[in-house]
């Protein structure tokens, strides 16, 4: 008799688990999942890229790569290595009289990579930026000039570092 009651108990638990899966994850069963707005993700620029106020100007694009897979509930929905782009929104070259350079790059979008992709023609929109101001030079650009003619340093962003971006707006990914 105890054996029969424990089987019934296990059967009821199994039905409850199945019902909760049906109720709480309709998108996963339908091959869809929603990436929430403001979810933080890790991205990096192309290795050894020259992201400098001396080389780039406002409006130039820079390639980015997803460093860690985007996961929801422990399941990956956008694979590591997905490509995207960022745009230089401000760039000021360094100048004479210690004028420092400045560069600001904003993350724009990310392509879907893996089994789940955004609807055709859509991208995963990103928010966030990286900015860097150049330093002062301690030596003259041309040694025979007086020290007040020192040129400031360019604003340079480390392309080998990992940066945090956020998903700008929630998007529904579909299984392909």
Same domain for 94 and 68: yes
Contact 70, 39 (CB under 8 A): yes
Q: How many angstroms separate the CA atoms of 102 and 93, rounded?
A: 7
Q: In whole numbers, what is the pLDDT of the chain averaged over residues?
A: 80
Are 60 and 96 part of one and the same domain? yes
Alpha helices per DSSP H over the chain = 2-24, 26-29
What residue ranges of the chain have pLDDT lower than 50?
1-2, 24, 26-29, 140-141
Q: What is the pLDDT of residue 82?
A: 93
Domain total of the chain: 2
pLDDT number for residue 18: 67
At 28-69, the pLDDT tens digits run: 445 788 889 999 999 999 988 899 888 999 999 999 999 999
- Do 36 and 21 belong to one domain? no
Q: What are phi and psi of 7, to 5 degrees?
A: -70, -40
Q: Which residue's structure tokens are 């420092």?
A: 100
Which CATH number fits the domain that encloses residue 147? 2.40.128
Structural domain harbouring 23 = 1-30
Same domain, 24 and 51: no
The answer to whether residues 47 and 10 belong to one domain is no
Q: CA 49 to CA 156: how far, in whole Å?
A: 10
Check whether residue 36 and residue 16 sit in a common domain.
no
């Amino acid at each position: 008799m105890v054996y029969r009651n424990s089987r019934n108990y296990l059967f009821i638990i199994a039905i409850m688990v199945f019902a909760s899966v049906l109720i709480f994850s309709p998108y996963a069963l339908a091959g869809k999942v929603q990436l929430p707005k403001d979810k933080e993700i890790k991205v990096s620029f192309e290795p050894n890229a020259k992201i400098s106020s001396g080389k780039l100007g406002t409006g130039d694009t820079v390639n980015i790569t997803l460093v860690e897979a985007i996961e929801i509930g422990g399941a990956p929905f956008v694979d590591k290595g997905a490509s995207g782009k960022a745009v230089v929104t401000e760039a000021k070259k360094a100048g004479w009289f210690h004028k420092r350079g400045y560069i600001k790059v904003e993350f724009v979008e990310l392509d879907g990579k893996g089994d789940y992709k955004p609807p055709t023609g859509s991208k995963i929109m990103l928010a966030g930026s990286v900015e860097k101001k150049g330093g002062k030079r301690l030596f003259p650009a041309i040694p025979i000039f007086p020290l007040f003619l020192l040129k400031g340093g360019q604003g340079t962003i480390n392309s080998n570092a990992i940066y945090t971006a956020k998903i700008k707006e929630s998007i529904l990914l579909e299984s392909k």
